[in-house]
Amino acid sequence: MFLKVSPTYRPKEGLSARLLAIDHLRGLIMILMALDHTRDYFSNAHFNPLDLDQTTTGLFLTRWITHFCAPLFILLSGISTELSLSRNGKRNAQARLLFIRGALLIVLELFWVRILGWDFGLDPNTISVGVIWAIGWSMITLSGLMFLPRVWILLFSLTLILGHNALDTMSPDRFGSMAWLWQILHTGGHIPLWGQQTFHPYYPLIPWLGVMSLGYVLGPLFHRSALMRQRTLISLGALLTVAFVTLRWSHGYGEAHVWLAEGSILRQALGFLDCSKYPPSLQYLLMTIGPGLLLLALLERCLVQRQPILATFGEVPLIFYLLHLPLIHGLAVLWDLAIYGTAVWQFNWPINTDHIKPPSDHGIALPGVYLVTSFVIALLYPVCRGYAQLKQKRAHALLRYL
């Protein structure tokens, strides 16, 4: 539907097809992210959906398609940073804005996202941080990198993306008292804090720093002619996709999860797509960024009409993210109360002090997950639309960070 051609449509002043494409792709990413998180809270599949010994094709693909969210969102964040800099031309101000926004994201991850989103309480054992944490540190890093020549930033980006898997043999133990830093940067895992408390970074930073800086380097492409930009995006996207297929098929560099050509053709195909996300392997990044660039080119070439839902979510992605987790989690609480008369397992300390787990029959089938996701999108759309309109009408400094 959102590729419908309308010969009478003209973008409003200052709004070009390139920015429409970015907003729409970002909006699609947010919807896929909501689908993944709805599955987390509502699915009756109490196992890893990528486990080929237990999963179904629908469940596998529902989880796999959401692999595109983090790489593409972080890449688009880098592109948007360069576009913003090109508009105002004030590098110092842009770097300061990026640094503050990155720091704000880290704070939001630690408090809002974790306590009010995922946990509905405090986890007495683990402080976990995810994608918002990684985006925050990527912004802080880029706020310094943007003062360097662009070719240096490109070298930095490619070194991290292409080279980080070469570091896989270096365990945190090799760094002694600095093992925690290597876990944050590369391996992930639980970092001891005090007593039984640990810190768990789900998104080790090295590859994500490379992805955002790569987006920044790609930014000038969006100042070129539409034809040149689309051809470049298609060529680059095809190159990355072919590189993924070649490396994956040949069991080459950049992926610890070996693909085995055994079982049915369907099982082999699904196994081929099952690449490591935590941390993201080179093959995982090629698999997601390559088709993502192709889709971005397709959107710009075919999209001639602003589609309200995708565009709105893409214009205010942070507000969407901050609201969708409490909303989905809250709906899960209401559902469990209606079905079981209690939802204590949906909370953490101080409500669920005994670590009560959900019953074995907890959750709904996959079609129901999609239905709940649609309901979540319907609830979030008017709120995000109102906030987007507020940002357009008011130039309050605080709104720039949200």
140 falls within a domain: yes
The mean pLDDT values, 10 residues at a time, for the chain of 402 residues are: 34 58 96 98 97 97 98 97 85 93 96 95 92 98 97 98 96 94 96 92 97 97 92 98 98 92 93 96 98 96 86 96 98 98 95 91 98 99 95 71 66
Check residue 13 and give its pLDDT: 35
- Which are the contacts of 286, defined by CB distance < 8 A and separation ≥ 6? 240, 241, 243, 244, 247, 254
Q: Is the pTM of this model over 0.75?
A: yes
Residue 5 lies in a domain: no
The C-alpha angle with vertex 23 and arms to 17 and 28, in degrees rounded to 5, equals 120
Q: Which residues contact 233 (CB under 8 A, 6 or more apart)?
A: 221, 293, 294, 296, 297, 300
Residue 38 belongs to a domain: yes
What pLDDT is attached to residue 11?
Answer: 39
73 in a domain, yes or no?
A: yes
Identify whether 2 is part of a domain: no
User: What per-residue confidence (pLDDT) applies to 153?
Assistant: 98
Give helix 366-393 / helix 317-340 axis angle, nearest 10°.
140
Residues 126 and 190: beta-carbon distance below 8 Å: yes
What amino acid is encoded at 48 in this protein?
N
Domain count, the chain: 1
Q: Please list the residues that pair with 201 across neighbouring strands.
A: 129
Closest CA to 63 of 37, 89, 36, 88: 36
Residue 3 lies in a domain: no
Helices 17-42 + 317-340 axis angle, to 10: 20
Tell me whether residue 21 is in a domain: yes
How far is the C-alpha of 152 from the C-alpha of 69, rounded, in Å?
27
Crossing angle for the helix pair 308-315 and 317-340, to the nearest 10 degrees: 110
pLDDT given at position 4: 33
280: left (phi over 0), alpha (psi -120 to 50) or beta: beta
Q: What is the pLDDT of residue 150?
A: 96
pLDDT of residue 249: 96
**C-alpha dihedral sign at 28, 32, 38, 44:** positive
> Residue 1's pLDDT is what?
33
pLDDT confidence of residue 402: 65
Give residue 184's domain range. 17-401
Asked whether residue 95 is assigned to any structural domain, the reply reads yes
Query: Tell me, what amino acid is at 127?
Result: I
